[in-house]
Amino acid sequence: MGVLDCLLIWKDDYLLPYDGHLRNLINSKNLREELTSWSLSGELGFIEQCHRAYLVPLVIRLLMPKVRKLKGLASRKKASICHRKAILSFLAGLDVNELPLFFALLVKPLQIVKKNDGLVNLFWTLPGGSISEFQALSLLHYFTLENMATLPWKKKYGFLHVIKDIVGVFDEMHISPFLDLLVGCVVRVLESCTSSLDKAKELNRLPLDKRNSGINVNSLHKDIVLPTDQSNSGTNADLLLESGGLPLDSVDSGTNVETIPEDSDQENQIVVIFYLC
C-alpha cells in the first residue's frame, strides 16, 4: 500500500480515477468484492483507453504475487485456490496484447534468469511489451536441467499448479501466444524430476554394503529423499507407481504444498500428480 501511496503523490491522470479500485485489489479483505465489481475488459469501459497503457501493467504487478502465493488469500486451502482462479478470471478480461508482462513475471520468482541478462530484466521493468518482444526473450532457454536442479521441490510444485490454473481459466485466444512457453516449462520441470528419480533408483540398485561406503547422496540431487527402510528392493517411487499412484482425492488441484510431509518422495509426487491431472 505504501508503494501505491508514493505513486499517487504525483497525481497522475491515469492513477487518480482508480485509486479506490487499486487499494481494494491490494487489501485481501476487499479483494473478492473488487474482482466482481470492477473489470479490466476494454469493452466494458471501466478504464479509459488512454489510461490502459499505464494502468494495466500496474494492476498486473499488484496481482501477480497473489497469483503465485496462496498464503494470505484465504484461511483455508480450497478458498485460496478459488481466490487465485478469481484473480486469473479478472486478468483474463485483458486484451491478449496486454498479457506479455503477466507471463514474463510468472517466471521471475524462479530466479533462473541471470542478473546480467539485460534484455529480460529490462522487459520486467518496462510498463509493457508486445507479444513479439516477449517471444524474442526465449524464456524457455533458461529452463535447463541445471537450473531446474537448483529449485526447491516446493517451488517446482507451486509453479506447475499456477500453470495448471492458468490453462484452466484462460481461453484459447488469451493463451495461444504463450502456450509454447507454458508447455515447455511443464515438460522441463517434470524432466528434472524424473531425472532425479532415475538417480535414486540407480542408488537403490547398489548392494547394501556399497550404499554406506562413503557415497555422497547429496551429490546426486539435493531434493531426493531415500527410503528409510533399506530392506526394500525398490524406491518409494517404485512402490507408489506399482500401487497405482496417489489416490485421486490427494491430487486435488488445490493441494497445499505445506501439507505434504517433508519425508515423502517429493519429486515423485510432482510427476505423479501432474500425470494424473
Interval 8-45: pLDDT, tens = 888 899 999 999 999 999 998 999 999 999 999 999 99
Is there a single domain that holds both residue 155 and residue 220? no
Half-sphere exposure of 160 (CA within 13 A, CB side): 31
pLDDT in tens, 54-113: 999 999 999 999 998 876 555 566 777 888 999 999 999 999 999 999 999 999 999 999
Selection from 98, 1, 76, 85 nearest residue 35 by Cα? 85
Is there a single domain that holds both residue 108 and residue 207? no
Residue 172 counted as domain residue: yes
Half-sphere exposure of 27 (CA within 13 A, CB side): 10
Is there a single domain that holds both residue 256 and residue 176? no
Which of the listed residues 132, 153, 186 is the one where a domain comes to its end? 186
- More confident call, 195 vs 228: 195
Which of the listed residues 137, 159, 186 is the one where a domain comes to its end? 186
Selection from 191, 256, 200 nearest residue 227 by Cα? 200
Residue 16 counted as domain residue: no
CA distance 38 to 64: 17
Is there a single domain that holds both residue 156 and residue 80? yes
60 in the Ramachandran plot: left (φ > 0), alpha (ψ -120 to 50) or beta? alpha
Residue 2 counted as domain residue: no
pLDDT confidence band for 251 (50 / 70 / 90): very low
20: which residues sit within 8 A by CB, 6+ positions away?
Answer: none
CA distance 95 to 93: 7
The pLDDT of residue 224 is 42
Locate 10 and state its grid cell. Answer: 504525483
Is there a single domain that holds both residue 56 and residue 76? yes
pLDDT in tens, 176-221: 999 999 999 999 999 888 877 777 777 777 776 665 554 444 444 4
The pLDDT of residue 116 is 79
Residue range of the domain that includes 138: 52-186
Task: Judge whether residue 7 has pLDDT over 80.
Answer: yes
Q: What is the radius of gyration, based on Cα positions, of the chain?
A: 22
Is there a single domain that holds both residue 200 and residue 161? no
Is there a single domain that holds both residue 105 and residue 169? yes
Which of the listed residues 165, 186, 207 is the one where a domain comes to its end? 186
0.85 exceeded by pTM? no
237: which residues sit within 8 A by CB, 6+ positions away?
Answer: 197, 200, 201, 265, 267, 268
Is there a single domain that holds both residue 169 and residue 205? no
Is there a single domain that holds both residue 181 and residue 193? no
Is there a single domain that holds both residue 108 and residue 216? no
pLDDT in tens, 132-165: 999 999 999 999 989 998 999 889 999 999 999 9
